[in-house]
Structure 1
């Protein structure tokens, strides 16, 4: 039984989600204590419970402590069962974070699966759908995971009500390690101001401010009006397409936060990423660690690792003691993260799959 301190490092819900994914992929049970102990509202919240219950559903896992506010959880996985699943968070809790929990185990199973995820698709505390679809999934497909996703209905905070549908086919065996030290040539850049049930002027002000700050052409700026959302919502998304990687930088509208403030923040983070020379931004770096660990190989350049990244590395190490991550500063604003296996003749991890 692996024991994990849920308050270590960054101390957030990612510790739990990473542990759930690796538990399903390796068959190792775990107990996590002091879940989110340093947060204003410690313990399991609705979206964390949704991830736990989704994990239990796909592997027939046994769970103790899956209650609102619980600060201790025990999880004993069973064989992963490919199939058709519907997971509803029933709030604006992130569909992306539930997907993050179950995607790799299901992709490594021997039969295809489909997911319908209902809840929040655009939430300031989680990757929005555009990031998942444009930045993350293309890289997962490059390593051999056959995954596609579609946004059927947006769900903004706090109303939720969104729906994402995901198709997962069995992954290639073996998986192919990523090597993304350089971005390569620029293939395009664009910005979208996504609006739901808000005045169009909000999008126009965001795009005008962003264009002035980045000195981009008018043609790179596009408003996108969502007509089927349950409540109001606003996301400003910059998409940077390079030969080797696509990055998505986002900002989220909030009550009382000026459109110009959102745009200046997004422009600043876009300029910082471009100026760093790194291939992978901080959020994409977090998302790539688990696939790299399961490939037992790969490397990428990124900006200075965040506490989120270093905490994720620690949790991965608790489950996989035969791999080694190397984190090194290459330049002032550019770092390299790579993983290697202590036993290169090992086959990549495959999930245990229940008999049909």
Structure 2
């Protein structure tokens, strides 16, 4: 899985674990953090379309610009990457994404690289790309679940969405702003949720769906299908939003805040052609009901994304997850190649207790 070659370059097998693009995003970011060159082969080896997708390619090229680093010749479909991060830290970049390459995934590549960068403001101006698309968290989920968790740990990350973009044409526009800690990062201690304080959400819909009131119908369906014994109506604040965009699209994000400081989301729910607004609302409500009935303190979509920062933080972290996703397990194994940290995962009622030592 990992091997140092004669040039002290860390070689990574991109087909291990879930074998997807997150291996590229995490390892290329951590290469910048650790200031070590890497090689990744067999990228997305078992996927229907192996090799780099557009967002992975844009991400690696952005890191090369960010640090003054270098890569081998790359294109969409490349299954081998050689990346040597530089020692510069450029604080202002412009990035263009053709079609609907995901802006959130790009941000993940960048924020994993900047944990230990000089403590100054880094801004990446993104033109093009998607804010909502398949197999990726929507920007509202990132902004209201992942980034607040980061902020509590001492890491400031923000995506200011100027224009939303949906699959397949994208056309989004955003400003990513990142400020690393000037001292150290806090550990995460969330063994219990505490009391539910509020439920918030955003429903984002392309403008052509305004006349049939798609957003309003989704919201009505969500409210009708939340189990009444799990919450009180005055705790729920979900907004409906319509946007001009190049492609028709629907994205739903809902998150819950607890007295312990825990913030959990249901993961982004997308609308699809042929699926009614009411059905989209039912899907989102069922996810919310499932989350409210669980005892997890970090949701399954955040558990893998927060791991790198918890490994960077000096103190031990403790939290509860409902299940060990393949992304979570893959990221744990990947982090072992970059950090000398131990961890314990114990079975608990309806989930797993994670202790990073």
Which of 198, 215, 226 aligns to 2:209? It is 198
Which of 305, 308, 327 matches 2:324?
305
CA distance in 1, matches of 2:32, 2:87: 8
**Superposed displacement of residue 299, structure 1:** 2.2
Shift in Å at residue 140 of structure 1?
A: 0.9
The equivalent residue for 1:112 is: 121
Q: Deviations over 1:324-348 (max 9, x none)?
A: 12222222x22122222xxxxxxxx
Task: State the shift of 1:83 in Å.
Answer: 0.9
TM-score normalised by L of structure 2: 0.89
- Give a deviation string over 1:194-226, Cα, whole Å, max 9, x none: 211214432233222222221463983645232
Matching of residue 96 in structure 1 with residue 94 in structure 2: no
Aligned to 2:285: 267
TM-score, normalisation: structure 1: 0.89
**Does the aligned pair in 1 maintain the 2:199–2:237 contact within 8 Å?**
no
Report deviation, 1:291: 0.6
CA distance in 1, matches of 2:56, 2:222: 34
Q: Which residue in the other structure is 2:262 paired with?
A: 245
Q: Which has the higher contact order (CA 8 A, sep 6+)?
A: 1
Unaligned ranges ≥5, structure 1 = 341-356
Q: Secondary structure in 1 aligned to 2:101?
A: coil
In structure 1, the residue corresponding to 2:254 is in which secondary structure?
A: strand
Indicate the residue corresponding to 1:289 in structure 2. Answer: 307
Aligned to 2:242: 226
Q: Return closer, same or farther for 1:309/1:170 CA change in 2, 3 Å cut-off.
A: closer
The whole-number CA distance in structure 2 between the counterparts of 1:339 and 1:303 is 17
How far the C-alpha of 1:65 sits from its partner, in A, is 4.5
Looking at structure 2, the residues matched to 137 and 285 of structure 1 have their Cα atoms a distance apart, in angstroms, of 13
Quote the Cα distance in structure 2 between the aligned partners of 1:219 and 1:18. Answer: 36
1:67 and 1:109, CA in 2 relative to 1: closer, same or farther beyond 3 A?
same
Shift of residue 63, structure 1, vs aligned partner: 0.9
Superposed, 1:65-80 pairs within 5 Å as 65-80=73-88
Give the CA deviation at 1:57: 1.1
User: In 2, distance between residues paired with 1:87 and 1:62?
Assistant: 17
Q: 1:316 aligns with which of 329, 332, 335?
A: 335
For residues 156 and 62 of structure 2, the distance between their equivalents in structure 1, rounded to whole angstroms, comes to 20
Match of 2:344 in 1: 326
Of the structure 1 ranges 72-81 and 302-311, higher mean CA displacement relative to structure 2 is found in: 72-81
The counterpart of 1:142, out of the listed 147, 152, 175, is 152
- Whether the 8 Å contact between 1:239 and 1:246 is mirrored in structure 2 is yes
* Structure 1 residues 177 and 90: CA distance shift in structure 2, 3 A: same
The alignment's C-alpha RMSD in Å is: 1.9
Separation in 1, partners of 2:18, 2:73? 22
Any unmatched runs of 5+ in structure 2? 1-8
Q: C-alpha deviations, 1:122-165, integer Å up to 9, x for none? A: 11321111111110111111111133331111111122111221
Q: Secondary structure at the match of 2:100?
A: coil
Secondary structure at 1:58 match in 2:
helix
* Cα displacement string for residues 43-91 of structure 1 (whole angstroms, at most 9, x for unaligned residues): 1111110111111111122211422211111111121504111222122
CA contact (8 A) 1:154 1:226 kept: no
Separation in 2, partners of 1:47, 1:100: 11
